[in-house]
A and B are shown apart, each in its own frame.
Chain A
Amino acid sequence: MANFADRSVSSLAFLRDVRFLRSLVQVIVLIVVVGLAIWLINNTSEGLARARIPTDFSFLTQPSGFQIDEGLVDQPHKRTDSYANAFGVALINTLRAVILSLILATLLGLFVGIARLSTNFLLRSLALAYIEIFQNTPLLLQLFFIFTGVLLTLPRATEPIVLPGPSYLSSSGLATPNLVATETTLWWLLLTIVGIGVGITLWQRLRTIRLETGRTTYAAEIGLGVMASVTVIAWLVLQPFTVDFPELGRFGYLRGKGAVISANFLAIVLGLVLYTGAFIAEIVRSGIQAVPIGQWEAARSQGFTYGQILRLIVIPQALRVMIPPLTNQYLNLAKNSSLGAAVGFAEVFGVARTMAQSVSVVPIMVIVMGIYLALSLITSAIMNVLNARFQIKTR
């Protein structure tokens, strides 16, 4: 009997082995997940086959049959261009909106975040009111309000509001003077780049001299002066651009005259900037407040001015705290740009929705999700590099 009991223990010992149990759990989970996935994919493909919806990507080379007016050039996508071209144009539009909004939202957030800590009661309260209003209402609602409630109620393009420039603002968008490149543009650009390079080198050299010897070397002044003077003199000598002014025709803005920023683009950029700016302002405020008050006092006792304290002492330290949440906001901004579809802006999701009316939705959504995933990954990779750059270096 004892022998039997021993054997039973040894033959069942693997049940008490934690490695076996862990593997078992994982295998069961894997089987369940894979089984579920297979079942779902099977069902989907059967359903698609029943509904005769193709799932291949061969449509990409076919003509799309719709046109996109929004883009860097006039009519970037024509009816006869391929679906792949439409995706490219839409991606450029998304990037345009995202990059512009990202820069403007950061500036706005920085400004409002500092204003939120101002000693001026009025400025402080207005900043708080702005933050609370835009944080506590949905972005989609703000977009609808900006687009249909504000931009579309502007006068028609035939009798627009005239702004200095002359620029025209109407319900069809903003028409501004445009710079047109000439044959000397390239030379000017080259000269400017050389000038900036020389300026930066001078700046750094002089700064090193100052740091080593303590002499006043006017590093920033000389560096910036070189950059500015090279750029301006080259501009005056070469005349690299001609200015193209917008003109009014009988039906609104004339095609190909000036730069026309569409109302849809204005709406999505305004919406993203105001919404994200409110969140960035709170990040900036908490970042600044995270810097110990002793830093302010020490800087003040050394004779720094308010602006200098912010610029040289506080913000560099606050950036360390701010970058991770800022990354989240930038990611949100990139993803929220998909709401441009709601105000008729031809970005990736909007164009995909148009396509889904004529071709199969499965490959389209695969491409769209892939694009947004890539965008998110690139943004977080860039921000990770920045984050590593700004952290305190320890051993």
Chain B
Amino acid sequence: MTTATVPSEGTSASSVTRPVVERGVLSWLRKNLFRTPFDAAVTVILLVVGGNLLAQFLNWSITQADWRVITINFRILMQGTYPADQGARLGLSVALITLLAGISWGIWGKLYRSTAFAFLGGVLLFIFVPLAVESVPELSQDAFGKYLGNQIAPLLSLLRDPVLLLVACLLIGYGVGRFAKQVNRKRAGRYTLIAWLIAIPVCFVLVRGFTDAQGALPFVQTSRWGGLLLTFMMAFVAIVACFPLGILLALGRTSGGTHKLAFKAPPRWWLNPLQWLHALSIWWRNLGNYPIIKLLCIIYIEFLRGVPLVTVFFTANLIVPLALGDNSIDAVLRAMVALTLFEAAYIAEIVRGGLQAIPPGQLEAAKALGLSPVQATLFITLPQALRIAIPPLVGQFITMFKDTSLVAIIGLTDLLGISRAVLAQSDFIGRHREMYIFVAIVYFVFSYGMSYAARQLERSGSGALRKIG
């Protein structure tokens, strides 16, 4: 205390007093809500309008909404018509993926207090609200009690086991990841990456089964996949398959020379056909060492980036069976192929951005050390480019996850498609809002989770990114 602020000699104590730091609720309110009269007006208007809307929503959700449409159709929303006796296979796949996600989080991320509280709150909500409502029957006399007892409690108790499983796997994985990181960070990271590469095909096989299997894993046709399961399968397959294709396309597009020829245009060159030829030849030579490959890649990328995904789905749906001369390819596989080919173009552009951000000195140094072009690409430029491209890549994966919903337009039963099918039943007419709000929450949880993970990765800085490769 005594040595905290000693004014230097010659200055009066009053001139160096520290500015008063205001604390407390009132000061926070003044600073953040009522700084100026205009601010105050904005606050009041937002409070009135927002509060009114919120009250209306709560009122609707309690008195008019019927959330049983989700409780009744829960299994179909999650799995489609996947055989009920094979459900354990799905549980196992989900547990595997969640565990891996938890491990990755433990290695590269950090468990913030806010996230931990969110988990804790969720777990408490899902365990105790149903218990409390079931054990207090007199609560269910008034409208709110009835609402809790009839609608919310069954939904929560239905969600309880899956949510607990997910949170448990995530937290166990987190612990394992933390431990592995302390033992050997580099090796833990590498093994986790390999585990991811293995896990996704394993899950695919686990869900699909073997065509000729009699015992353990009987075959389940893709037409019986549905709901969230189909959404996830489409997203996973597309992400895994479009990534190598996208990298190849990006390499093809950047396979130019380093020296660009400039086209020195004389005035009004476009009037002279000879100048056209000259411009064309300069353009062709500027395509670099592999002009044909580069041109093919450019055409592919720009064509697919210029058309909407639905038209690609639609075309693939009708033309792929004809083009391959094989009618046995089912609609799900067709959609997966279309999504993969489409997204590869976007991945290619992102990877190209990463490749262009690598200083040319890297490639020159690699050449000087005697690395062949293939070696230089594989070991020097590409790893660095992918590292730079991680944030936009994750963004594209989120887009891809959301884009799978477009298969509803060509009649597949992914989460959105199957919710429409449920709503078309006469029992659930007019329950659009409830259903769509639930579906939106599901999409939100997963894509927000992905963007949260990406942000953590970004925030942990380039040092953390370096340890991934």
Chain A positions within 8 Å of B, measured between CB atoms, are: 22, 25-26, 29-30, 33, 40-41, 43-44, 46-48, 51, 119-123, 126, 132-133, 135-142, 144-145, 148-150, 153, 331, 335-336, 338-339, 341-342, 349, 353, 356, 361-362, 365, 368-369, 372-373, 376-377
Q: Report how far A377 CA is from B306 CA in the complex, Å.
A: 8
CB of B216 within 8 Å of the partner chain? no
The 10 closest A-B pairs by CB, nearest first: A47-B322, A121-B32, A138-B405, A335-B308, A338-B308, A376-B306, A138-B402, A373-B306, A136-B447, A145-B436
Contact partners of A46 in chain B: CB under 8 A: 325
A32 to chain B, nearest CB (A): 10
CB of B59 within 8 Å of the partner chain? no
Closest to A139 in B: B402
CB of B459 within 8 Å of the partner chain? no
* Known contacts A43-B323, A120-B35; A140 and B406 CB within 8 A of each other: yes
Which of A22, A119, A153 is the one whose CB lies under 8 Å from B289?
A22
CB-CB contacts of B168-187 with A at 8 A, as 1s and 0s? 00000000000000000000
Which of A338, A362, A373 is the one whose CB lies under 8 Å from B303?
A373
Cβ–Cβ contact A119 & B39, under 8 A? yes
A348 to chain B, nearest CB (A): 9
Cβ–Cβ contact A140 & B322, under 8 A? no
Interface stretch of the complex, out of B3-11, B43-51, B193-201, B274-282: B43-51
Number of A-B contacts (CB under 8 A): 157
A343 to chain B, nearest CB (A): 11
6 A-B contact pairs sorted by A residue (CB < 8 Å): A29-B293, A136-B443, A136-B448, A140-B408, A142-B440, A338-B311
* Known contacts A122-B33, A126-B50; A136 and B451 CB within 8 A of each other: yes
Cβ–Cβ contact B325 & A140, under 8 A? no
Which of A30, A148, A349 is the one whose CB lies under 8 Å from B292?
A30
Cβ–Cβ contact B325 & A120, under 8 A? no
Q: Report how far A282 CA is from B423 CA in the complex, Å.
A: 34
Cβ–Cβ contact B305 & A376, under 8 A? yes
Closest to B440 in A: A137
* Known contacts A43-B325, A120-B39; A369 and B307 CB within 8 A of each other: yes
A interface secondary structure, majority: helix
**Other A-B pairs, 11, CB within 8 Å; known A29-B293, A145-B440:** A26-B290, A26-B291, A29-B296, A40-B324, A47-B325, A121-B32, A137-B440, A138-B405, A145-B436, A369-B307, A373-B306
B428 to chain A, nearest CB (A): 12
Which of B31, B318, B416, B439 is the one whose CB lies under 8 Å from A361?
B318
Which of A120, A141, A336 is the one whose CB lies under 8 Å from B436?
A141
Q: Report how far A167 CA is from B303 CA in the complex, Å.
A: 44
| Chain B 247-300 interface residues, beta-carbon cutoff 8 Å to A | 289-293, 296
Contact partners of A368 in chain B: CB under 8 A: 311
B332 to chain A, nearest CB (A): 18
Q: Report how far A138 CA is from B443 CA in the complex, Å.
A: 8
Contact partners of A373 in chain B: CB under 8 A: 303, 306-307
Q: Report how far A339 CA is from B311 CA in the complex, Å.
A: 10
Q: Report how far A153 CA is from B429 CA in the complex, Å.
A: 12
Q: Report how far A373 CA is from B305 CA in the complex, Å.
A: 9
A303 to chain B, nearest CB (A): 17
Q: Report how far A33 CA is from B296 CA in the complex, Å.
A: 9
Contact partners of A44 in chain B: CB under 8 A: 319, 322-323
* Known contacts A140-B405, A140-B406, A141-B440; A365 and B311 CB within 8 A of each other: yes
CB of B367 within 8 Å of the partner chain? no
CB of B420 within 8 Å of the partner chain? yes
Contact partners of A120 in chain B: CB under 8 A: 32-33, 35, 39, 42-43
B91 to chain A, nearest CB (A): 26
Cβ–Cβ contact A43 & B290, under 8 A? no
Cβ–Cβ contact A372 & B402, under 8 A? no
Contact partners of A25 in chain B: CB under 8 A: 290, 293
* Known contacts A336-B308, A372-B307; A29 and B46 CB within 8 A of each other: no
Closest to A47 in B: B322
A243 to chain B, nearest CB (A): 31
* Known contacts A120-B33, A141-B405, A141-B416; A133 and B444 CB within 8 A of each other: yes
CB of B432 within 8 Å of the partner chain? yes
Q: Report how far A376 CA is from B451 CA in the complex, Å.
A: 28
CB of B116 within 8 Å of the partner chain? no
A352 to chain B, nearest CB (A): 8
* Known contacts A141-B416, A338-B310; A123 and B42 CB within 8 A of each other: yes
A133 to chain B, nearest CB (A): 7
CB of B134 within 8 Å of the partner chain? no
A77 to chain B, nearest CB (A): 21
Cβ–Cβ contact A137 & B444, under 8 A? yes
Cβ–Cβ contact B322 & A121, under 8 A? no
CB of B409 within 8 Å of the partner chain? yes
Q: Report how far A323 CA is from B32 CA in the complex, Å.
A: 31
CB of B110 within 8 Å of the partner chain? no
Cβ–Cβ contact B409 & A342, under 8 A? yes
* Known contacts A126-B50, A365-B314; A22 and B290 CB within 8 A of each other: yes
Contact partners of B408 in chain A: CB under 8 A: 140, 342
Q: Report how far A22 CA is from B291 CA in the complex, Å.
A: 10
Closest to B294 in A: A26
CB of B467 within 8 Å of the partner chain? no
CB of B466 within 8 Å of the partner chain? no
Cβ–Cβ contact B416 & A144, under 8 A? yes
Cβ–Cβ contact A138 & B403, under 8 A? yes
Cβ–Cβ contact B315 & A148, under 8 A? no
Closest to A45 in B: B322
Cβ–Cβ contact B444 & A119, under 8 A? no
Contact partners of A51 in chain B: CB under 8 A: 322
